[in-house]
Structure 1
Amino acid sequence: MAVDDQVVLGAGAGAVADLRDSKIRPRVVPVPYGSRPSICPVRAWHAWKETVKLDDPDGHAWRRLHSRWHTVMKGGLQPESIGDVITRAGERAGIEIRFTGHSPRRGLATSSRLKGHDQVVIAKQGGRAPHSKVLAGYLEVVDQWEDDALLGVL
């Protein structure tokens, strides 16, 4: 994954993520600044980029660490490694359910729907087909109370 750190002008300015190596398909995704600095992906990206001195716009954004020296290496993380990092982070945080590499995609879809975003917009941001059955399954759980056929009838 390479990330272009150009600031995007417009509502909620942030960064543009150029996801060239993707499990789903390559895509360009706008990433707005977070409402809280402690969880802002744009601020975290800039801090990471500065810390590891990333200067190649075509290089990998998330890099491997040498297992013995813990120095940043040239190559990018493997897809399995990213899932392992997410699982270990959830364990260290004391979260009782097991997080996997798929958890952020599901969490993004669920949280976006709770904020009222349309399924097509959610699918595009998450790299899914506009009418993905998997995405529809996630959103069904979110929508079961707002889109209930019994609302206003009982």
Structure 2
Amino acid sequence: MEGGLQPESVGDVITRVGARAGIKIRFTGQSPRRGLATSSRLKGHDQIVIAKQGEWAPHSKVLAGYLEVVDQWEENALLGVL
């Protein structure tokens, strides 16, 4: 595309492609951002670094919620206790 894609257009493309593929979950432009966050955290990257790359505020509650899914298994207070 000569002018490139606008941020909204990326989300529209992702949603349309998911629907065409018959995926029951509705993917949006947020889907790859969340994937970036969770995959990066699984590799041990710091929340501030992930926030900068994904353009979240440094202490974003939304980002923290995404990372909690990963961290609940890696930083569990019961690891080694039971």
Per the normalisation by structure 1, the TM-score is 0.48
Larger radius of gyration: 1
Partner of 2:13: 85
CA separation of 1:78/1:110 partners in 2, compared to 1, >3 Å: closer, same or farther?
closer
Partner of 1:139: 67
**CA-CA distance at 1:90 after TM superposition:** 1.2
For CA contacts below 8 A with separation 6 or more, give which structure has more relative contact order: 2
SS in 1 for 2:74: coil
SS in 2 for 1:145: helix
Aligned length: 82
CA separation of 1:134/1:78 partners in 2, compared to 1, >3 Å: closer, same or farther?
closer
1:149 aligns with 2:77: yes
1:129 aligns with 2:34: no
Q: Which segments of 5 or more consecutive residues in structure 2 lack a partner in the other structure?
A: none
- Cα shift readout 1:53-104 (whole Å, capped 9, x = no counterpart): x5xxxxx422xxxxxxxxxxxxxx472x332211011122332211012111
- Cα shift readout 1:97-127 (whole Å, capped 9, x = no counterpart): 1101211111111111112211111000000
Q: What is the alpha-carbon distance in structure 2 between the residues aligned to residue 153 and residue 105 of structure 1?
A: 34
Q: Note the 1:1-154 alignment, pairs <5 A.
A: 54=2, 60-62=3-5, 77=6, 79=8, 81-154=9-82
- Cα shift readout 1:4-26 (whole Å, capped 9, x = no counterpart): xxxxxxxxxxxxxxxxxxxxxxx
More helix by share: 2
How well do the aligned residues superpose, as a CA RMSD in angstroms? 1.8
Per the normalisation by structure 2, the TM-score is 0.85
More strand by share: 1
